[in-house]
A and B are shown apart, each in its own frame.
Chain A
């Protein structure tokens, strides 16, 4: 149990280390990357519920970024898989509800439900993948900084930053408690339900205590509600170029049917 948490913990750290690299993509201003990610997500979710072919070309974006930013594909895919149960759960009923036949491949009939399920999976991988990528090329705190600079509510960005920073500490505290329990529970492998509740309650109390101490530490350093950094945000020529290229590509993808075109082209050549 504890070792599993240890591993997840390590994995988050890994994402952070990825963000510390120094590739052309990493060097871009966080705001440019955040904007492009937002446009990308908007473009992807704007398709109808049966879209499949039109979504495929969008995988070019992660592919290009992963290439340029030198990221490990396997690791990112694994992260994606960890979150996928949620979307499977959301979409798994589609095939039962929507049984109308949509596509006919010879003897094989595919209902609308299956098509929309597949489309949902695609959209999920694209959007969540893009968010993961954003963190891997920008780092979470920098994303928060960009949000703040772009006018997101301050309370939100401060909360996000704190959440991120203390996630590590909280997980560590949780690990310590579970370890302490494991050491004294002898043969029992898993804590009983009631003990779990107690552990959780204890963790909550500790968290509140810690929050108070952190607040105190912030107050003693003249904190007044705004987290300031000297980080220079610099929206220069390369950011503009990146933004224009990416938005241009997204608009092109959104307004044309690239897969269709390609398919027709291939057909014509083969004829």
Chain B
């Protein structure tokens, strides 16, 4: 099935202030894959993700989602296929109740009201927040907000989930719940994150970015085993792959 492929070819992007954020990125992600994008601050992860749903227009190269190259005409279809969870849930939850927020996408797709309600209920149940339906989003905790943000994307039934630092700002338990939640999805997942331990849990493949380029792309365990590579990209091994500092092993 070529349907949910994400293909990026020689992608380059320079911000208007001449910051060359991406300098020739290429990769291909297949249906059902779960891929982590890691890299130091300013490596270009967020910039890359913003290309995947056509928010930024490449200054060079091409993005293909499924069978479409990303162009002005396919934008709407692509945005329906790619569900994007942003770094700050406050940017994503703009309606006055949780329910309205999760219903926002499906209503814009002009689905019948019954179908919308069913989808919202299902999405909220998936993230375990059915009881907060009527609450205004700005009065939720950050973990709850994050889960509502995910529900608001799930309700659109996207084929590809793209997430920017989904675990930042969560307490250990909320983080664990999030990981379990994400693990239960069979979508194609693309996750930009600094949480390398989460990567070990969720992603079989990792793309390492450094200064706007792809520095490495391969199986997660192989990449995290390469100390030299990590060092050169300002990264550290996930904690669980490091020796025990107490017993020096």
Contact = CB atoms under 8 A, between A and B. Distances in A.
Interface of A: 13, 16, 20, 139-141, 161-162, 164-166, 168-169, 210, 213-214, 216-224, 227-231
B13 interface: no
B109 interface: yes
A14 B92 CA distance: 24
Question: Which of A164, A218, A221, A229 gathers the greatest number of chain B CB atoms within 10 Å?
Answer: A221
Contacts of A213: 86, 88, 91
14 contacts: A16-B136, A140-B96, A213-B91, A216-B50, A217-B84, A217-B92, A220-B82, A221-B153, A222-B105, A223-B104, A223-B108, A224-B108, A230-B99, A230-B117
B139 interface: yes
A171 to B, nearest CB: 11
Contacts of A227: 95, 104
B100 interface: yes
- B55, B116, B139, B156: most-surrounded residue (chain A CB, <10 A): B55
B76 interface: yes
B53 A169 contact: no
B175 interface: no
Contacts of A164: 96
Given A13-B139, A221-B156, A216 B108 contact: no
Among A216, A217, A222, the one with the most B-chain Cβ atoms within 10 Å of its Cβ is A217
B64 interface: no
B36 interface: no
Contact of B94 (A13, A165, A220): A165
Given A16-B136, A165-B138, A213-B88, A222 B109 contact: yes
A165 B97 CA distance: 10
Nearest to B50: A216
A227 B104 CA distance: 8
Q: Which 8 A-B pairs have the closest CB atoms?
A: A141-B96, A221-B105, A222-B108, A228-B107, A213-B91, A217-B92, A220-B84, A168-B138
Contacts of A218: 94, 104
Contact of A221 (B99, B139, B152): B152
Contacts of A139: 96
Interface residues of B, number: 36
B80 interface: yes
A164 B86 CA distance: 21
B201 interface: no
A213 B85 CA distance: 12
Most A C-beta atoms less than 10 A away, residue of B82, B104, B153, B156: B104
Nearest to A144: B96
A111 to B, nearest CB: 48
Contacts of B109: 222
Interface in B145-202: 152-153, 156
A214 B156 CA distance: 17
Contacts of A165: 94-96, 138
A220 B79 contact: yes
A227 B105 CA distance: 10
Given A13-B139, A229-B95, 14 more contacts: A141-B96, A161-B95, A165-B96, A210-B91, A214-B92, A216-B50, A216-B86, A217-B94, A219-B55, A221-B152, A222-B76, A222-B80, A223-B104, A224-B108
Contacts of A140: 96
B90 interface: yes
A46 to B, nearest CB: 33
